[in-house]
């Protein structure tokens, strides 16, 4: 290869372009435009800046690269093949978008080494990167520059910046002055429908600047300008946006600069013309050895830095190195179990009537000191969600050593940032909002489940029990909506003991996020005896057995469990044997052996489910003819007690329903 830096750069960038267009063509599906247009940006970043070691892709102090514009996935796959990631072979490139390949249509975390987060839903990659950059600063404050000192780079598209979540994310990043976050904006003026000006006339750079970022526009095909801009960004005390003016589909003579190259293969004729225009004579998927060697040498550039980092870690005091290794690996401290059991004993000895949001706060007071990597937060509802403990200092631009984040009214951005913190490693993020606002954060909750990340969402005011705020704030369908997400635990505890157990469950899920639905209103204790065993861990259990022969089984969650217990007492007074089953987590119950599920559900003549929410999801546990007492409409504005009466979710209703069913 030529010694001329410009020629060398062009040939290395063209390797990305041809691999991308060939893979998309072979799949007859994909987005060649972004990889071809952004190849110059990526070449400069990966060869001159990005601190990674393809042979140790999970090195904790590596730089993070997030392809927020996930539709351009072939850019990332091409880079990984060229750089020498062992699992990104040429066969994987050839099998782009095929079943079982590592090269999915959009980058998926866990499918291949070096994919830092799942992207594709636009805006979420950018927002997730804010959490990664924040985690880097927070971990740095705990362990210092010797162990934690790296950048988070993002390649974003017009679509990323148009999505509403980008506003939330850049505001939070600017407020916290996340100076090691550098966003490279592929500024190509094209969207799927056509020119960007069909739908956008705003000032992207001005928006970032207003949020506290440094922003500038450069020529995205000038490697010297790209290098200079990134070098300058590394010296600033604020996050940086570099708008790189590019031509989408660069090199394709008839399609470059048009929407026609955005999301469709170029076609054989245009590919032939592109090869000619780029001066590329090799066959499809064939990278000349001198070009590949240059890329592989770039992949080895930071091996010495990685080894030096390992030596620094090994030289640390054993307590520091062991703690760093533990938190980065995600292992829980052994002392957590003792803290849980001690607090559970005190709850049995001193039962009280508490809202489960308050029970959650008390549980956190017992747990957080033993698990200091827990990072709390709230979307401007700290006093309502009860997610902050007394010793937790607020994180700020002047104090990354805190352990509580004021996310502001940015539920979606908060959830995405939590995903980024979990993906980065070193922390267990949890945060709060009202259950009804889980709609705002649902796409990020879905990605957390898809990526198998341990994030914990505290969702309070979980039913009509929140009272006077009315139906706009009363979640009716939200439990069903959350339960519909695969690999998400929806936990709805009935009292303080179950709340503690649900926190333990959530923390012990190394590959599953959790949503904890908690009440505003006070609930009496229903667990009155100490049990070392976590009874909630199987998702459902018999809370109270029938005094004699069981005729009725009452299934309930959360705030309705105590209603079931009181109804049992009335039914038993009339010699109607009644069982009460508490079901704090459907998902965990569904994982149990059929023998356990059958034993818990029983086979009494009458079975009734009670939950202040819609019926959807309950029919998995109800037989034809079984009853459900809950919501069939939106709520209303009134005191909580009046609402439960109005909608018929009462002890009297349960008793009458059971007796009527026995009489038929």
Query: Is 349 annotated as catalytic?
Result: no
Is 488 exposed, middle or buried, given 0-12, 13-18 or 19+ CB atoms closer than 10 A? buried
Q: Which of 270, 361, 411, 501 is catalytic?
A: 411
The Cα 226–Cα 41 span in angstroms is 7
Residue 629 contacts residue 610 (beta carbons within 8 Å)? yes
Q: Residue 308 in 3-state DSSP?
A: helix
User: Does an H or E element contain 232, and which?
Assistant: helix 223-233
611 φ, ψ (degrees, to nearest 5): -160, 135
> What whole-number distance in Å separates Cα of residue 24 and Cα of residue 21?
5
**What are the backbone dihedrals phi and psi of residue 541, each rounded to the nearest 5 degrees, phi first?**
-160, 160
Among 654, 586, 491, smallest CA distance to 644 is for 654
Say if residues 305 and 312 touch (Cβ distance below 8 Å): no
> What is the greatest pairwise CA distance in the chain?
94
* Residue 235: Cβ-neighbour burial (10 angstroms; 0-12, 13-18, 19+): exposed
Estimate the crossing angle of helix 124-143 against helix 411-424, to 10 degrees. 50
Eight-class DSSP state of 394: B
From 438, 410, 572, select the one nearest 513 (Cα to Cα). Answer: 438
Q: Going by DSSP bridges, is the β-strand pair 374-378/354-355 parallel, antiparallel, or unpaired? A: unpaired
Find all residues with CB under 8 Å of 127, minimum gap 6, and list them.
165, 166, 168, 169, 412, 413, 416, 417, 420, 444
Residue from 152, 48, 165 nearest 441 by CA:
165
How far is the C-alpha of 104 from the C-alpha of 75, rounded, in Å? Answer: 12
**DSSP H/E element including 652:** helix 651-663
Q: Report DSSP letters for 473-524, one per residue.
A: T--SSHHHHHHTSTT-EEE--SSHHHHHHHHHHHHH-TT--EEEE--SSEE-
| Residues marked as catalytic | 411
């Amino acid at each position: 290869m030529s010694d001329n830096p410009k020629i060398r750069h062009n040939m290395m960038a063209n390797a990305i372009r041809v691999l991308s267009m060939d893979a998309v063509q072979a799949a007859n599906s994909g987005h060649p435009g972004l990889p071809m247009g952004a190849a110059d940006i990526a070449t400069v970043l990966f060869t001159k800046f990005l601190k990674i070691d393809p042979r140790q892709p999970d090195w904790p102090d590596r730089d993070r690269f997030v392809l927020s514009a996930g539709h351009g996935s072939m850019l990332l796959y091409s880079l990984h093949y060229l750089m020498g990631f062992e699992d990104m072979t040429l066969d994987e490139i050839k099998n782009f978008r095929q079943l079982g390949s590592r090269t999915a249509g959009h980058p998926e975390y866990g499918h291949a080494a070096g994919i830092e987060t799942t992207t594709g839903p636009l805006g979420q990659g950018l927002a997730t990167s804010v959490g990664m950059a924040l985690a880097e600063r927070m971990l740095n404050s705990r362990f210092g520059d010797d162990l934690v000192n790296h950048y988070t780079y993002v390649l974003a598209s017009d679509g990323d910046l148009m999505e509403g979540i980008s506003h939330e994310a850049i505001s939070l990043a600017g407020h916290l002055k996340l100076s090691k976050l550098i966003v490279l904006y592929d500024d190509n003026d094209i969207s799927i429908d056509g020119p960007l000006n069909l739908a956008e006339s705003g000032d992207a750079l001005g928006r970032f600047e207003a949020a506290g970022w440094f922003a500038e526009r450069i020529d995205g095909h000038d490697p010297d300008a790209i290098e200079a801009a990134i070098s300058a960004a590394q010296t600033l005390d604020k996050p940086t946006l570099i708008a790189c003016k590019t031509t989408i589909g660069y090199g394709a003579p008839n399609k470059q600069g048009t929407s026609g190259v955005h999301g469709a293969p170029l076609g054989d004729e245009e590919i032939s013309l592109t090869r000619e225009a780029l001066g590329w004579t090799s066959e499809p998927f064939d990278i000349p050895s001198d070009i590949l060697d240059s890329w592989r040498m770039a992949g080895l550039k930071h091996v010495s830095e990685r080894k030096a980092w390992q030596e620094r870690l090994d030289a640390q005091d054993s307590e520091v190195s062991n703690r760093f290794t533990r938190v980065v690996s995600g292992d829980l401290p052994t002392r957590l179990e003792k803290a849980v059991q001690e607090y559970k004993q005190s709850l049995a000895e001193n039962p009280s009537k508490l809202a489960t949001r308050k029970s959650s706060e008390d549980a956190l007071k017992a747990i957080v000191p033993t698990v200091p990597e827990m990072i709390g937060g709230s979307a401007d509802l700290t006093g309502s969600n009860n997610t902050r403990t007394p010793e937790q200092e607020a994180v700020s631009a002047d104090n990354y050593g805190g352990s509580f984040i004021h996310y502001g009214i940015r539920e979606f951005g908060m959830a995405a940032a939590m995903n980024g913190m979990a993906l980065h490693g070193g922390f267990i993020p949890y945060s709060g909002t009202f259950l009804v606002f889980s709609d705002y954060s649902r796409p990020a909750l879905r990605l957390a489940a898809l990526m198998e990340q341990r994030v914990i969402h505290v969702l309070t005011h979980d039913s009509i029990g929140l009272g006077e705020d009315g139906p706009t704030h009363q979640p009716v369908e939200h439990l069903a909506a959350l339960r519909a997400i695969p690999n998400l635990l929806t936990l709805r505890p009935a009292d303080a003991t179950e709340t503690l157990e649900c926190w333990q469950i959530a923390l012990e899920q190394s590959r599953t996020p959790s949503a904890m639905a908690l009440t505003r209103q006070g609930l009496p204790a229903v667990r009155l005896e100490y049990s070392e065993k976590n009874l909630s861990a199987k998702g459902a259990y018999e809370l109270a057995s029938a005094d004699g022969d069981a005729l009725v089984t009452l299934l309930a969650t959360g705030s309705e469990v105590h209603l079931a217990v009181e109804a049992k007492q009335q039914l038993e007074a009339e010699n109607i044997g009644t069982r009460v089953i508490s079901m704090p987590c459907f998902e965990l119950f569904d994982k149990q052996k059929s023998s356990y599920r059958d034993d818990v559900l029983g086979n009494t003549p009458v079975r009734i489910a009670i939950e202040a929410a819609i019926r959807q999801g309950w029919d998995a546990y109800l037989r034809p003819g079984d009853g459900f007492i809950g919501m069939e409409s939106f709520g209303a504005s009134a005191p909580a007690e009046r609402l439960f009466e109005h909608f018929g979710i009462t002890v009297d209703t349960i008793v009458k329903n059971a007796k009527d069913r026995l009489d038929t």
